Homo-oligomer: A and B are copies of this chain.
Amino acid sequence: MFHHVKELQFNARVSKPDPKFARLLLEQFGGGNGELKAAMQYFVQAFSARQPYPKLYDMLMDIAAEEFSHLEIVGATITMLLGPINGELKQAFEDSGLKEMVSGGSASRDALVHQALMNPQFFVLSGGGPTVTDCNGNPWSGSFVNANGDPTVDLRSDIAAESRAKIVYEYLLQFTDDQYVQESLRFLMTREISHFQMFSAHLDQIQPNFPPGILQGDARFTHTYFNMSNGASARGPWNQGQGPWAKGEWTYVEDPIGAVRESNGLTNFQQTAPMSNQEMDEVGKKLGKQRYQEISKAVPKSTNQWSAYPQTGLESPRKAS
């Protein structure tokens, strides 16, 4: 259940209306890396985690609730930056104050329209409130949410999402001089860094977490780098030496076209990993069994109930009373 508290999590203020920056800020309201995306991503991931991994669930819901609270801060800031638009639009018969808003009273209607075109939908659609879009007016899409039902995958999606949200705030900060707005943006940006660390710490708790999921790779291809572009090639730990592998070293295929032709489409390609496929499969089987048991112990195949009333511990009751 969600409960709303009238106080914003951070004391959002603006020094004066600024509809142009309001448009830029939409990127974090309804954009692909914005607060709604973050909130919904952690909220949706939490469903699969609820029963088997109640600690992860608790963290995901804490952060999801915080992101909804950030969405509110961003929407409130946009609304304040749009200032009097909503009121002025009611002056349909007067020389609207919208003109004054543009440049001190002397602006022509043409200047007003020019201003309006900076984000027309604030003026002709939303009447001075936020739209559920990015700063180019594209509607938020459910496809922004990444939730794949595996913590070793989902947490990595979350670390990346926080990274993107952070850089967007960093860019945005360079486009406003309003110290109140800057203060709010810095708060929001900082929280992305904090969440990044929370997700990292949780991922680190899950061992093994590489490769994501259960299945290990095909030993013939894991440690191979194909040089798919011509000319001078860069070498480094991503294609030579041990790189981030626990065991084994990179094999660098200088001429992939030749290699593919000679190996019957890689089916006869030489193994490069330090473990055999059989050994890898053993790892996968063992891990799969363990994860399966964790989940199947917690998720009943018959009657199920989501919450206890009251909910006193972390775990759900699993069975309807």
Contacts and interface: CB of A to CB of B under 8 A. Distances in A.
A137 B31 CA distance: 12
B142 A292 contact: no
Interface residues of A, number: 214
B124 A132 contact: no
Interface string A167-211: 110111111110010010011011101101111111011000011
Interface string A219-240: 0111111111111111011110
A284 interface: yes
A56 to B, nearest CB: 8
A31 to B, nearest CB: 7
Nearest to A217: B190
A228 B303 CA distance: 30
Contact of A228 (B3, B101, B129, B256): B3
Interface in A23-81: 23-24, 27, 30-33, 36, 40, 43-45, 47-48, 50, 52, 54-56, 58-59, 61-66, 68-69, 72, 75-80
A110 B24 CA distance: 13
A8 to B, nearest CB: 5
A139 to B, nearest CB: 3
B232 A311 contact: yes
Copies, count: 6
A101 B16 CA distance: 26
A248 to B, nearest CB: 10
A171 B196 CA distance: 27
Max chain B CB contacts within 10 Å: which of A1, A153, A236, A302?
Answer: A1
B93 A281 contact: yes
A276 interface: no
Given A156-B163, A292-B88, A175 B234 contact: no
Given A9-B266, A92-B173, A234-B58, A222 B201 contact: no
Contacts of A220: 190
Contact of A175 (B113, B193, B321): B113
A234 B11 contact: no
13 contacts: A2-B2, A3-B257, A8-B265, A15-B302, A15-B303, A20-B110, A50-B79, A54-B234, A65-B228, A97-B296, A150-B167, A160-B160, A196-B211
